[in-house]
């Protein structure tokens, strides 16, 4: 029962991958390439490359891609549902608990500690993709212009991405 | 103000999902704009807390943020519609890529567009740092804690979930010792006196 197998494997990937994004790649690789041999290593590298040029979380891209390769459209639906479900269930549980207990002093104290750590997490994530994102002077200019336009001229972030892509095509 | 119905959340997260390049954090300014700023469905501080909870759950951060934003604003239906909205663009695009456009990552136009978009993603993330920072870093305690967390993450490669757990413990310890000011802290101060 290949569709069920896909669902369960990606459920496991979704459940045990904390941190999102590239932190999930080693786990996905072990399940898909090493254990199940659904993709070869070079196909897997292609999936990562495709994820970099398409929107959305890499785990979802990998699930959809692998599911389609192994068992067609139903396979991709099963794999995608599998990878998303643990996130949804755990997030629901945490949100329910947070909404229920957030007025407790101890929970408030926890979040006064957690909030500055969230800023640190975003800074760390930005630093980690910075070298591969801004590789030349044109890139630096695009980043600065986009930042100023969003910050001070209230440019819509989505429009900023579209304009940056157009500039990339024009100068590329 | 338009109420956040499941269907409205679906369309909001569909747009966000279609433009989430470069990982979940780059979607923070997008979500903030369409959830916190335009319709004021959420307060700044609630939004920061939502990001913190999303980081503590397994799986893609984008899915987690969609789930808990949807749930908070419109219950289980809201969570379901938000997640499907956030997931659908990548699902459809990858199906198209896998079935008819397998070489997309080598296409020169796609590569040029991405080369332009990647620096803009950095700009979005810098924007997220400032937005979240303004809400989250207000006291000397939070500056010190934020810097410690940053060093732990970047220099010592400590796992993000561990950093969040440690930060929560630090928050509790600091409030017990009276080092940090907890919002609406009147009852908190009372309790501190009692525990002493």
Give this prediction's pTM.
Answer: 0.82
Domain boundary among A101, A121, A155: A101
pLDDT tens for B122-132 read 998 898 899 88
Q: What's chain A's average pLDDT?
A: 89
- SS3 assignment, position B58: strand
Write out residues 62-91 of A within 8 Å (CB-CB) of B.
Answer: 64-65, 68-69, 73, 76-77, 80, 83-84, 86-88, 90-91
Q: Are residues A157 and A130 in the same domain?
A: yes
Question: Between A52 and A81, where is the model more confident?
Answer: A81
Q: 3-state class of A18 per DSSP?
A: strand
Please tell me if residue B13 touches chain A, with a CB cutoff of 8 Å.
Answer: no
Q: Which range of residues forms the domain containing residue A96?
A: 2-101
CA distance linking residue B195 with residue A170, whole number of Å: 65
CB within 8 Å of A72: residues ≥ 6 apart: none
Give yes or no for residue B185 having a pLDDT over 90: no
Q: Which of A19-23, A115-119, A158-162 has the lowest mean pLDDT?
A: A19-23
Residue from A105, A112, A127 whose CB has the most chain B CBs within 10 Å, to mutate: A112
pLDDT-based confidence at residue B77 (cuts at 50, 70, 90):
very high
Instruction: Give residue B166's pLDDT.
Output: 94
Instruction: Count up the domains in chain A and report the number.
Output: 2
Question: Angle at which helices B44-56 and B108-136 pack, to 10 degrees?
Answer: 120
In this prediction the ipTM stands at: 0.84
Contact A139 B188 (CB under 8 A): no
- End-of-domain residue from the set A51, A66, A101: A101
Residue B168 pLDDT exceeds 80 = yes
What are the chain A neighbours of B13 within 8 Å (beta carbons)?
none
In this prediction, what percent of chain A has a pLDDT beyond 90? Answer: 51
| Model confidence pLDDT, tens digit, residues A54-79 | 888 888 888 999 999 889 999 999 99
The answer on A95 and A140 residing in a single domain is: no
Q: Do B153 and A17 touch (CB under 8 A)?
A: no
- The distance from CA A145 to its chain's CA centroid, rounded to whole angstroms, is 25
How many Cβ atoms are within 10 Å of B2's Cβ, its own excluded? 8
Encode pLDDT of A22-53 as tens digits.
667 888 888 899 999 998 988 888 888 888 78
Per-residue pLDDT at B58: 84
| Among the ranges given (A15-24, A59-68, B10-19, B59-68), the one the predictor scored with the smallest mean pLDDT | A15-24
Of B48, B125, B142, the CB nearest to A125: B125
State the average pLDDT over residues A132-147: 92
Are A76 and A130 found together in one domain? no
Judged against a pLDDT cut of 80, whether residue A18 lies above it is answered with no
For residues B184 and B142, give the distance between their C-alpha atoms in angstroms, rounded to a whole number: 16
**Structural domain ending residue among the three candidates A101, A117, A146:** A101
Tell me: do A134 and A66 sit in the same domain.
no
Contacts of B129 (CB under 8 A, 6+ apart): A119, A122, A123, A126
Shared domain for A54 and A31, answered yes or no, is: yes
Label residue B190 by pLDDT band (50, 70, 90).
very low
**What is the pLDDT at residue B40?**
86
Interval A114-135: pLDDT, tens? 999 999 988 988 898 888 889 9
Percent of chain B predicted with pLDDT > 90: 34
């Amino acid at each position: 029962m290949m569709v069920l197998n896909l669902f369960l494997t990606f459920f496991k990937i979704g459940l045990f991958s904390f941190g999102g994004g590239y932190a999930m790649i080693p786990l996905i690789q072990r399940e898909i390439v090493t254990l199940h041999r659904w993709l070869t290593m070079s196909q897997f590298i292609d999936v990562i490359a495709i994820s970099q040029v398409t929107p959305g979380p890499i785990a979802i891209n990998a699930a959809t891609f692998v599911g389609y390769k192994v068992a067609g459209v139903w396979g991709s639906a099963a794999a995608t549902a599998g990878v998303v479900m643990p996130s949804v269930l755990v997030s629901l549980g945490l949100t329910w608990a947070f909404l229920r207990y957030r007025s407790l002093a101890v929970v408030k104290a926890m979040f006064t500690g957690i909030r500055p750590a969230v800023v640190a997490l975003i800074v760390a994530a930005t630093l980690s993709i910075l070298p591969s994102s801004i590789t030349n002077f044109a890139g630096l200019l695009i980043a600065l212009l986009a930042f100023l336009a969003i910050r001070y001229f209230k440019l819509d972030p989505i429009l900023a991405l579209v304009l940056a892509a157009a500039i990339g095509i024009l100068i590329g | 103000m338009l109420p956040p119905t499941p269907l409205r959340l679906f369309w909001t997260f569909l747009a966000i999902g279609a433009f989430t390049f470069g990982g979940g954090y780059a979607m923070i300014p997008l979500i903030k704009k369409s959830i916190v700023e335009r319709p004021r469905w959420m307060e700044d501080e609630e939004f920061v807390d939502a990001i913190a909870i999303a980081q503590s759950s397994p799986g893609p951060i984008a899915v987690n943020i969609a789930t808990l934003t949807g749930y908070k604003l419109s219950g289980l239906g809201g969570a379901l519609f938000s997640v499907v909205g956030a997931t659908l663009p990548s699902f459809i695009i990858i199906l198209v890529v896998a079935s008819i456009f397998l070489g997309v990552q080598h296409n020169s136009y796609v590569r040029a567009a991405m080369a332009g978009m990647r620096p803009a993603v950095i700009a979005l993330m810098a924007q997220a740092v400032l937005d979240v920072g303004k809400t989250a870093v207000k006291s000397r305690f939070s500056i010190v804690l934020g810097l410690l967390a940053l060093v732990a993450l970047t220099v010592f490669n400590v796992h993000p979930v561990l950093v969040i757990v440690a930060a929560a413990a630090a928050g509790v310890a600091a409030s017990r010792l009276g080092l940090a000011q907890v919002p609406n802290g009147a009852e908190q101060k009372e309790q501190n006196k009692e525990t002493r």
